[in-house]
A and B are shown apart, each in its own frame.
Chain A
């Protein structure tokens, strides 16, 4: 078997895991899936590319400006499309439509402003996409850094959940009313989660841009498999999302290398379907009972 499959799987898997984690950040305190998440990833890439190439900002400044901008958009989305729905009913699902609407608005606006042409984003020096051989694998320094950063970011987020604020988020995720009785403000946490989830989506876009190029077609490409990684890894579980992201990435790479045309994509969804049929709560979730 081609050893490069592993490299391809890790590259794609890192991106899927990052999208899945950005879903989780929003989901935990709100129980809301943000269907605009793919477009926030794309917006992050486009803003960063524009900041770097058009405005000529240095890498760190363009990064911070993009995170702030996409995070603020996430916050605005919470105000406009999510909070009013949840204010009416905590179990309402109107956010499916409203977050999709935000997705369409962002996609149209970005297409209108930047057009369809992809923009080249180079990795920050000293990282590069130039390949070298190591132990029979064809690697490049950016892919190694991407995988390492993905793991580090997941570890950092997991650590953040051990802080007081993080525990408050987990408490809200567990029981919103009980958390409210303990003096936790779920609305404030919801706003923060949308800001951080937006910023994280922006960061994912920035990290994906050197590999996929910044373009309007980025969002849908990452949304579906990122969502699949979140579901397979158990919704809300970031370590699960990381492992599921790599599982999907490697499955996809194996499919592309070994299977006949037409089955390559199907095999990814076959794996996702099999996992969810056997473990509907995902690989790392615990089965729960609910009184009805």
Chain B
């Protein structure tokens, strides 16, 4: 293999002017040589890997990157992308939005033109401001609908359902499938909760002409959430759309419902599906709770999950660090992003960012793990709403769940 032009160092570690000129000439000459393209192809294809390795969220965010790791492992084992192995360039963002612009700058200096991560809507939006300007292709784990706006962030690919889609599925289930008229919203006071609640209200109003019967906003640091649940009950709501993203809050809410002996249908975010919840609440407390998820990872009496998804679940079971987080790992966009990128590179036979951006923005029916992905210049979310369904969170206890499979709700 051609090792490529090399710089000769002096004994003191410095570089002489002559050596530098010789090397520069060699690089210039080699660019025109037939071996150059082969040489370039042997270079690893660098992908920035932004995640917290320190800080409070490090342990909970680590498993969310496993899908991406599996994809890289599979691709590298099969020979890489156009002969180039994928190499991750790790950066620790401490899950802090303030760190993101600096990290993007650092990765840019290392000639990284594709970034996976960060995770979290506020971290992602902070990163997107920098990657858009630097024209870096990126996929983040961000549910905010804004992150899927291809006009605003032309180099970002969301590849997961967003808050608008989740709100649509939940509102449609309550108003159309169950025919409920008095629907309440219970949301945490975070950016996610706020966006999801705004979308829910708009969809209920626009699609079904319904006003929300009671809207409760709770602080995630509250020591007691029973007042918010009691308010919903007092308002006489017969269905609750709950935007809850953390397990202790969810446990407090469902335990309060049990105390009040009030079990309305509840629909909400996929975060409700974490098995840790079952250690804190009894099964009957969550019997009417449904969460948004991806159709290919669900089963019904007549349908089984996709074969590819079953294979993924089996692969995931080999990672002890994924235990308890299988749903979140499966719902991560990183596996599909790496394969989508590979597909675009191979189709275009190019690693050029502009070429790839153009190719990715016109993808049609790419068979992703999470569903069929279609992108346009405007829509960079990619997930079709028909692939977003509600599942029973109690089915996580079923033997068929395999960690990341769930039973689809009726009429979904």
Contacts and interface: CB of A to CB of B under 8 A. Distances in A.
A95 B248 CA distance: 32
B230 A111 contact: no
Contacts of B21: none
Given A12-B224, A257-B231, A213 B217 contact: no
B351 interface: no
A222 interface: yes
A22 B221 CA distance: 20
Contacts of B221: 217, 220-221, 224
Nearest to A268: B219
Contacts of A131: 259
A92 interface: no
A118 B277 CA distance: 8
Nearest to A110: B56
Interface in B203-237: 215-224, 226-228, 230-231
Contact of A212 (B55, B57, B58, B248): B248
Contacts of A224: 221
A108 B224 contact: no
B300 interface: no
Contact of A265 (B189, B246, B251): B189
Given A108-B54, A138-B259, A220-B221, A4 B230 contact: yes
B71 interface: no
B216 A12 contact: no
Interface string A150-185: 000000000000000000000000000000000000
Contacts of B228: 256
B177 interface: no
B250 to A, nearest CB: 10
Nearest to B62: A115
Instruction: Tell me which of B57, B59, B230, B274 has the highest count of chain A C-beta atoms within 10 A of its own C-beta.
Output: B59
Interface in B397-411: none
A63 interface: no
B303 interface: no
A107 B52 CA distance: 14
A257 B59 contact: no
A212 B228 CA distance: 16
B222 A112 contact: no
B95 to A, nearest CB: 11
A212 B223 contact: yes
B224 A11 contact: yes
Contact of A256 (B58, B227, B274, B280): B227
B75 interface: no
A69 interface: no
B60 A108 contact: no
Contact of B279 (A8, A120, A252, A261): A120
A284 B333 CA distance: 55
B70 interface: no
Interface residues of A, number: 39
A265 B188 CA distance: 12
A118 B230 contact: no
Instruction: Tell me which of B222, B247, B280 has the highest count of chain A C-beta atoms within 10 A of its own C-beta.
Output: B222
A118 B246 CA distance: 10
Given A111-B59, A116-B59, A264-B217, A211 B223 contact: yes
Contacts of A107: 56
B97 interface: no
A257 B227 contact: yes
A107 B321 CA distance: 20
B324 interface: yes
A34 interface: no
A81 interface: no
Contacts of B216: 261
B279 A119 contact: yes
A116 B328 CA distance: 13
Nearest to A256: B227
Given A138-B259, A215-B248, A217-B246, A115 B223 contact: no
Given A107-B56, A115-B59, A11 B217 contact: no
A117 B222 CA distance: 17
Contacts of A216: 56
Contact of A120 (B54, B224, B246, B280): B280
A112 B223 contact: no
Nearest to B215: A261
A262 interface: yes
B57 A116 contact: yes
Contacts of A215: 247-248
Interface in B86-111: none
A118 B56 contact: no
A118 B281 CA distance: 12
Contacts of B57: 111, 116
A253 interface: yes
B276 interface: yes
B37 to A, nearest CB: 45
Interface of B: 54-60, 189, 215-224, 226-228, 230-231, 246-248, 251-252, 259, 274, 276, 279-280, 324
11 contacts: A4-B226, A15-B223, A111-B55, A115-B59, A118-B248, A138-B259, A212-B248, A213-B251, A215-B248, A216-B56, A217-B246
In the A-B complex, the 6 residue pairs with the smallest Cβ-Cβ separation, listed nearest first, are A261-B217, A256-B227, A116-B60, A221-B221, A117-B276, A12-B223
